[in-house]
Chains A and B, each alone.
Chain A
C-alpha cells in the first residue's frame, strides 16, 4: 500500500512539473498573472509529491519489501540499518529518484526565498526548472521506475554491493547530487534571463548564492568520494581520473569559474554574456556527467546498471537542454550590454584569467575523457587515456591558477597597479620560496614536486592572510577590531583560497613522499618501514552482521614507543559473493600509517602491505576548508539582509 502511494505520488509529481512548466512560461510571455502565479504551488507540491515517493521507497528498503525489484537487487535483511537507508540511492533507479527530489527541492527553495525576484523572472525561472523536472521524471517513470514490482518476491535480497556498505559512500551521492542538481538553478536563471532579455546586478546577486551552494556541495561530495577511495580500495589512491570522477570534476571546475564571473556581474555589471554561457555550460556538464555515468558509453570502475536505452534518453535530455539553451543564447546574448569598464590590470581581468584557466582545464579533462570514444569512431584507433595523461595535461593549469590567485585577489576593481599589488605580497612570496627551499633541503634534493607544492601552498595561504590584513586598514591598533568586522564574504574568500593551497600541498607531498612496502610476514615477525617497526601480532577470523572477516592485529612502534595497534581486515560478503579490503589507518596530521592484510601464503605467513602516506589528510582537509569558505560566504550579511528585506517589502508593497 505504502509503495503504491509512493508510485502514485511520483506520477503526480510529473503532472505537477508539467503544470509548473506550461502555465508560468505562457503567463510570463502573455502577461497573464494568474498563469504566472501557478508556478509557486506547482513547484512546492511537486516537491511534496517527490518527498512522499522518496519516503515510500525508503520505507520499502527499511522494511525489506522484496516485492520491489530494486529492493531485492540491492538489499538484504541482515544488512545494517544505515546501509538499508543508503541502499535507497545505492542503485540507478533510487539515485535518479533522489536526483529528482533534489531538483524539486531547489525549485521549492526558489519559491521560498525568491520573494525579491520580479514576477516574470520568477515565473520563468520556475518554468525552466519545471521543464528539467519533466525530463528527469519521465526518464525515471518510463525507463527506470524504482517502484517496479516482482511477480514472485524472493525470500531474501541479493545485498548491496559491499564496497558501497560504507559510511563515506552513504553520504557521497546525496552531496554530489545536491551539487550537480544545484547547478540547474543557475541554468534556469540563465535561460530565464535570456528569455527576459536582461541581466543586471540583481540577477548576479541571485545566481551567485545558488552557484556557491552547488559548488560547495560538489566540493564535499567529491572529497567524500576521494576519501572513500583512499581508505576502501586497499592501496590508498585518492584520485584515478576515471571517467566517472571526471564527470563530477568538470562541473566543479566550471561552477568554480561561474562563481567568480558572477561576482563580476554582481559588482561591476560586466562579463554578463560570458556568465550566462558559463551557467548553461555548468549544468550541461552535469547532464553530460549523468550520461557518462549511466549509459556505460565509457568504461569506468564505477559500475552502474548500464542500459543503452537509458543512455539514449539521457543523451536526448542533454541535447535538448543544451541545444535549446545555446540557441536562445545565440539569439539573445547580444541584447546583454556590459556596463562596467575596466583596465587591463584590474580585479576584473584577474577574474577573466581565472575563468580562462578553469574553463580550459575543464575542457582538457573533457577532451581526455571522451578521446577514447572519438579516436575509435573517427580514427579507428582503440586506445586508453589514463592518469598519466591527465597528470601531465591538467596540472599546469592548476599551477598557473595558484600562482596568479593571490595577486588577482588583492588587485582592486576597475583599475589596479601590479607594483602596488606586489608591494603587499613581496614578503609572502619570499616566505613561500624560503619554505619551498627548506622543503627541498629536508627531502635532500630529488624531485621538485613537493617543494613546488610547498611554495604554492604557502603562497596561497599567506597570500590570503596578507589580503585580509591589508583589508583591515592601515591603523595598526584598529586592525584586529576591523578584521573581525570584515564581511563574511571576505573571510569566505580567504578561507576557500587557503583551502585550495592546503589541498595542493597534500597532493604534492603524498605523491612525492609516499613509502610503500610489500612483503610476506610471519605471525610474530617484526619488520621496519621508514623508521616505524611493525609487528604482525596475530590473525584471526570474525563474523560480522552480513560478512565474514579475517582480522590481523598489527602493532606499530617507533623507537620502542607504541604508536598504534591497527586491525586491517579482509572481508567476504557471502550474499554478494565479493571480497573487500578494510585497510587500517592511523591518521595523523603529518602522516598516515596505512596497513593492508592480504592472502595467506603457501609457505606460511601473510601478504602484508604497508604504506606511509605523508600529509594525506591535507588533501581532504583542504577540500573541507574550501567548503567552509563557501559556507562563510553564503552566510554573508548581504544575502541574509536581502532575504529579510524581501519579506518586509512583500508585506508593505501593494499588488500592482
Chain B
C-alpha cells in the first residue's frame, strides 16, 4: 500500500477527457459544446479530438469553447475564434474552400469517372464478339478440370 501511494504521487495523475467540473449547467449549451469539441483537434495529440483527449491542452480548449458559448457566441463564432488562434489545423472537418475543393470533390468526381468508364466498357462488352484464345490442348485440360469438378 505504501508503494502504491508512493507511485501515485510520483506520477502525475492522469486527466481524462471531459471532466464533470468542466461541464456547463445549461444542458443545451453543454450539448453544443460537446458537438463542437468533437470536431476540434487536440493540437498536441495524435489525431484525437479535444472531446476524447486526455491532454492538458485539450482541457484548456474545452474550457475555452465553453467560455465562448457562455459569453453568447454562435457555433461559427466559437470556431472562428479558435481558428484565428490556432489555424485551420484545429478543424477535424476541413473547410470546403480553395485547394480543399480537390479533397471534397475527389469522391463524387471519381465516382462519375468510374461510372463513365464502366458504362463505356459495358457498351463495348455487350456487343463485342468473343474470340477463342485457348489452344486445343489447353481447352481439353480446362474441360477436364471442369468435368472433374462437376462429377465428384
CB nearest neighbor in B for A394: B107
Q: How far apart are the CA atoms of A519 and B19 in the complex, in Å?
A: 8
Contact with A along B38-50 (1 / 0, CB 8 A): 1101000111110
Judge if A426 is at the interface, Cβ distance under 8 Å. Answer: no
Question: Contact between B41 and A359 (Cβ–Cβ < 8 Å)?
Answer: no
B56 at the interface (CB under 8 A from A): no
Q: How far is the CB of A244 from chain B (nearest CB, A)?
A: 9
Contacts of A348 in B (CB 8 A): 125
For residue A225, CB closer than 8 A to chain B, the reply is: no
Cα A219 to Cα B35 in complex, Å, equals 31
Complex: how many Å from CA A598 to CA B23? 15
| A518 and B8 form a contact (CB under 8 A) | no
Which partner residue on chain B sits nearest A388 by CB separation? B93
Q: Residues of B contacting A379 with CB < 8 Å?
A: 98-99
Contacts A381-B99, A383-B89, A384-B92 given; indicate if A356 touches B16 (C-beta within 8 A).
no
Q: Do residues A381 and B11 form an inter-chain contact, with CB atoms below 8 A?
A: no
**How many Å lie between the Cα of A598 and that of B47 in the bound state?**
23
What 1/0 flags go to A337-351 for Cβ under 8 Å of B? 111111110001100
Q: Which residues of B contact A239 (CB under 8 A)?
A: none
Q: Does B92 contact A389, Cβ atoms closer than 8 Å?
A: yes
Say whether B103 contacts A385, CB under 8 Å.
yes
B92 touching A598 by the CB < 8 A rule? no
Question: Is A115 an interface position by the 8 A CB rule?
Answer: no
Query: Which residues of B17-67 have CB atoms within 8 Å of chain A's CB atoms?
Result: 17-21, 23, 38-39, 41, 45-49, 52
Contacts of A198 in B (CB 8 A): 133
Q: Is the CB of B16 within 8 A of A371?
A: no
Nearest-neighbour CB distance to chain A for B56, whole angstroms, equals 14
- Taking a contact as CB atoms under 8 Å apart, the answer to whether A383 and B98 are in contact is no
**Beta-carbon contact of A364 and B110 below 8 Å:** yes
**How many interface residues does B have (CB within 8 Å)?**
65
Known: A383-B100, A572-B11. A397 touches B88 (CB 8 A): no
A440→B98 CA distance, assembly (Å)? 39
Check: A382 CB closer than 8 A to any chain B CB.
Answer: yes
Residues on the A chain within 8 Å of B126, using CB: 341-344
Contact A572 B99 (CB under 8 A): no
In the complex, B91 has a CB within 8 A of chain A: yes
Q: Is B130 an interface residue (CB 8 A)?
A: yes
Please, what's the 1-or-0 string for B140-152, where 1 marks a CB less than 8 Å from any CB in chain A? 0010010011001
Report the separation of the CA atoms of residues A348 and B46 in the bound assembly, to the nearest whole angstrom. 43
Given A301-B48, A339-B131, A364-B106; A356-B98 close (CB under 8 Å): no
CA distance A518 to B7 in the complex (A): 27
Hey, what's the 0/1 contact readout for A239-275 against B, CB within 8 Å counting as 1? Answer: 0101100000000000000000000000000100000
CB neighbours of A581 from chain B (8 A): 16
Asked, given contacts A378-B99, A385-B94, A386-B92, whether A393 binds B107 with beta carbons under 8 Å apart, the answer is yes
Residues on B with C-beta less than 8 A from A352 are 118, 121-122
A301 touches B98 (CB 8 A): no
Question: Quick check: B4 and A518 within 8 Å, CB to CB?
Answer: no
For residue A537, give the distance in angstroms from its CB to the closest CB of chain B.
19
Answer whether A520 and B20 are a contact pair too, CB < 8 Å, given A352-B118, A356-B118, A379-B98. yes
Q: For residue A201, which residue of chain B has the nearest CB?
A: B142
Asked if A368 lies at the interface with its beta carbon under 8 angstroms from chain B, I say yes
Segment 66-109 of B: residues with Cβ below 8 Å from A: 87-95, 98-100, 103-104, 106-107
A339 B133 Cβ-Cβ under 8 A: yes
A637 to B151, CA, bound (A): 11
- Say whether B94 contacts A574, CB under 8 Å: no
Q: Is A397 a contact of B107 with CB atoms below 8 Å?
A: yes
A478 within 8 A of B: no
Q: What is the CA–CA distance of A66 and B1 in the complex, to the nearest angstrom? A: 29
**B39 partner residues in chain A, CB cutoff 8 A:** 386, 388
A577 to B149, CA, bound (A): 60
Which listed residue (B23, B46, B122, B133) contacts A301, Cβ 8 A?
B46
Q: A301-B47, A301-B48, A368-B103 are in contact. Are A383 and B118 (CB under 8 A)?
A: no
Chain B residue nearest to A234 (CB atoms) is: B16
Query: Which partner residue on chain B sits nearest A302 by CB separation?
Result: B46
Closest Cβ of chain B to A417, distance in Å, is: 15
Q: Does A562 contact B (CB under 8 A)?
A: no
Partner of A371 from B4, B103, B111 at Cβ < 8 Å: B103
Contact B13 A599 (CB under 8 A): yes
A487 to chain B minimum Cβ distance, whole angstroms, is 11
Answer whether A382 and B88 are a contact pair too, CB < 8 Å, given A375-B100, A541-B1.
Answer: yes
Chain B residues whose C-beta falls within 8 Å of the C-beta of A543 in the assembled complex: 4
**In the bound complex, do residue A518 and residue B20 qualify as a contact, i.e. CB atoms below 8 Å apart?**
yes
CB-defined contacts of B16 to chain A, threshold 8 Å: 234, 581, 596, 598-599, 607
A589 close to chain B: CB less than 8 A: no
In the bound complex, residues from chain A placing their C-beta under 8 Å from that of B152 are: 637, 641, 644-645
A and B contact pairs by CB, cutoff 8 A, 26 listed: A201-B142, A338-B128, A342-B122, A344-B122, A352-B121, A357-B111, A363-B110, A375-B100, A378-B99, A381-B98, A381-B100, A382-B89, A383-B91, A384-B89, A386-B39, A386-B93, A387-B92, A388-B92, A392-B93, A393-B107, A396-B107, A518-B20, A599-B15, A641-B152, A642-B145, A642-B149
A235-B17, A599-B13, A645-B148 known, 9 other contacts, Cβ within 8 Å: A201-B142, A237-B52, A301-B47, A356-B114, A363-B106, A384-B94, A386-B92, A599-B16, A638-B149
Residues of B within 8 A of A (CB): 1, 3-4, 7-8, 11, 13-21, 23, 38-39, 41, 45-49, 52, 87-95, 98-100, 103-104, 106-107, 110-111, 114-115, 118, 121-123, 125-134, 138, 142, 145, 148-149, 152
Which 8 pairs, one residue from A and one from B, show the smallest C-beta to C-beta distance?
A: A386-B92, A388-B93, A356-B114, A379-B99, A364-B107, A579-B14, A339-B130, A645-B148
